[in-house]
Amino acid sequence: MAKPAKPLTYNATLLEREDLTSQLSIFKIRPDEPIPANSFVPGQYVTLGMNNERVPDLGSVRRPMSIVSAPEERDVMEFYIRYVSYPESDNPLTHLLWETKAANRLFLRDRAVGKFTIRDTVGDDDPRLRVCVAAGTGLAPFVSMVRSIHLRDPRADLGQYAILHGASYPAELGYREELDSLKASGLHYMTSISRPAESPDWRGDSGRVEDYFMPERLKELDERLGLGAGGLRPDRAAILICGLQGTIGRIIERLIPRGFVPENRKLRRALEVPEDVPSSLFFEQYDNTPVIDVKDPEVIEPLREQLHAALAEA
Ligand SMILES: Cc1cc2nc3c(=O)[nH]c(=O)nc-3n(C[C@H](O)[C@H](O)[C@H](O)COP(=O)(O)OP(=O)(O)OC[C@H]3O[C@@H](n4cnc5c(N)ncnc54)[C@H](O)[C@@H]3O)c2cc1C
């Protein structure tokens, strides 16, 4: 068995925990050291950690967590975290986090990292629509992005952002009020729940968030994003996806016929994308399963054909 990780020295305090459901919570954490100005870029993540006090032999555990708060919020860092019922490790962080309450101490790495930022994906000056797609807690980076713009200038136009959020139940659509209110600033905000039968009062969209991209629903999505029929294409929009493998893989498959190229070395190589064709679909993945099985010719060959047909047409 691997040696347990060394105990962590705690350097932050849990200020508040908001439980949206028994398995989904917002954690507001204050680092002991004030958060310096511009210490991170929306879309980045930090490592959160805890020692297993109940079973000290298990040692400590750290996991990356996307930052929900904006860099302009200088005294608190916010996280949107799901309890993992069937973890892979024997010392899962979410199980320790679920035992915490306000005033408890934890470890928060002081350096934010990650390249799932506007700067490192589409580029800050890119004028295209930024279609941000999130399943569950994958919403975190996108809240940080639009919140930051709004905090810097409450009159800023958010029309360049579309946030599509999917969850199982309405109660799991975290940040709904905040994002609903940002529609007044131009934000396109769409929500979908995948278990509508269990929420009879729900009048919104149903299905998983990746289902917005099903071939038979793409036309409707074009219109709802204000792009006009067939308009969701790499010359008009860039796609950012955050969440687990299933969501990311399905959206890539469904957008390849529209000519979207995923930013991933292995995928680009398997799809034989010419070097001069820029990526137009970016993703941040919370689990480890390959988003698309590039080794399976039955999967990759039709995708390659569809992509090359779309690139030839463009
Ligand atoms: C860059 C990055 C940013 C992340 N940001 C967040 C975040 O903002 N919020 C968050 O809840 N998680 C986030 N995660 C996932 C997080 O790091 C942990 O993997 C997760 O909390 C499970 O850790 P654990 O120790 O409890 O379970 P482990 O024993 O490590 O179990 C891992 C299992 O948990 C599943 N899993 C991981 N994340 C989720 C999730 N969000 N929802 C459902 N199942 C999941 C995986 O499929 C995997 O099978 C992020 C991961 C990465 C790589």
3-state SS of the chain is CCCCECCCCCCEEEEEEEEEECCEEEEEEEECCCCCCCCCCCCCEEEEEEECCCCHHHEEEEEEEECCCCCCCCCCEEEEEECCCCCCCCCCHHHHHCCCCCCCEEEECCCCECCCCCCCCCCCCCCCEEEEEEEHHHHHHHHHHHHHHHHHCCCCCCCCEEEEEEECCHHHCCCHHHHHHHHHHCCEEEEEECCHHHCCCCCCEECCHHHHHCHHHHHHHHHHCCCCCCCCCCCCEEEEEEECHHHHHHHHHHHHHHCCCECCHHHHHHCCCCCCCCCCEEEEECCCCCCCCCCCHHHHHHHHHHHHHHHHHC
Give residue 27 CA to ligand 1 midpoint distance, Å. Answer: 15
Q: Which amino acid is at 290?
A: P
pLDDT of residue 2: 75
Clarify whether residues 173 and 280 are in a common domain.
yes
Give residue 257 CA to ligand 1 midpoint distance, Å. Answer: 30
Residue 197 in tokens: 């039968």
Give residue 83 CA to ligand 1 midpoint distance, Å. Answer: 9
- Structurally, how many domains does the chain consist of? 2
Torsion of CA 94, 70, 40, 245, to 10 degrees: 50
Q: Is residue 104 part of a domain?
A: yes
Give residue 263 CA to ligand 1 midpoint distance, Å. Answer: 21
Cα 213 to Cα 252: distance, rounded to the nearest angstrom: 9
Clarify whether residues 151 and 283 are in a common domain.
yes
Give this prediction's pTM. 0.98
Clarify whether residues 263 and 139 are in a common domain.
yes
Q: Is residue 116 part of a domain?
A: no
Q: Is residue 146 part of a domain?
A: yes
Clarify whether residues 23 and 171 are in a common domain.
no
CATH number for the domain spanning 19: value is: 2.40.30.10
Residue nearest to atom 48 of ligand 1 (CA): 287
Q: Is residue 17 part of a domain?
A: yes
CATH number for the domain spanning 193: value is: 3.40.50.80
Q: Is residue 140 part of a domain?
A: yes
Please write the tens of the pLDDT for every residue from 48-105. Answer: 999 999 999 999 999 999 999 999 999 999 999 999 999 999 999 999 999 999 999 9
Clarify whether residues 151 and 258 are in a common domain.
yes
Intervals of the chain under pLDDT 70 = 1
Clarify whether residues 201 and 80 are in a common domain.
no
Clarify whether residues 203 and 75 are in a common domain.
no
Clarify whether residues 220 and 309 are in a common domain.
yes
284 lines ligand 1 (CB under 6 A): yes
Please write the tens of the pLDDT for every residue from 147-159. Answer: 999 999 999 999 9
Residue nearest to atom 6 of ligand 1 (CA): 65
Q: How far is CA 238 from CA 25, 42, 228, 259, 267, in A?
A: 30, 17, 16, 11, 17
Most ligand 1 atoms within 8 A of CB, residue of 48, 63, 241 to mutate: 63
Clarify whether residues 137 and 97 are in a common domain.
no
Clarify whether residues 60 and 138 are in a common domain.
no
Q: Is residue 272 part of a domain?
A: yes
Give residue 286 CA to ligand 1 midpoint distance, Å. Answer: 5
Q: Is residue 119 part of a domain?
A: no
pLDDT of residue 1: 62
Full domain range(s) for residue 16: 12-108
Q: How many CB atoms lie within 10 A of CB 179?
A: 23
pLDDT of residue 284: 98
pLDDT of residue 314: 84
Cα 262 to Cα 282: distance, rounded to the nearest angstrom: 6
pLDDT of residue 190: 98
141 lines ligand 1 (CB under 6 A): no
Clarify whether residues 137 and 282 are in a common domain.
yes
Q: Looking at 108, 139, 164, which one is the last position of a domain? A: 108
Residue nearest to atom 9 of ligand 1 (CA): 81
* Contact (CB, 8 A) for 163 and 188: yes
44 lines ligand 1 (CB under 6 A): no
Q: Is residue 5 part of a domain?
A: no
Clarify whether residues 176 and 54 are in a common domain.
no
Cα-flanking dihedrals φ and ψ of residue 13, to 5°?
-125, 135
62 lines ligand 1 (CB under 6 A): no
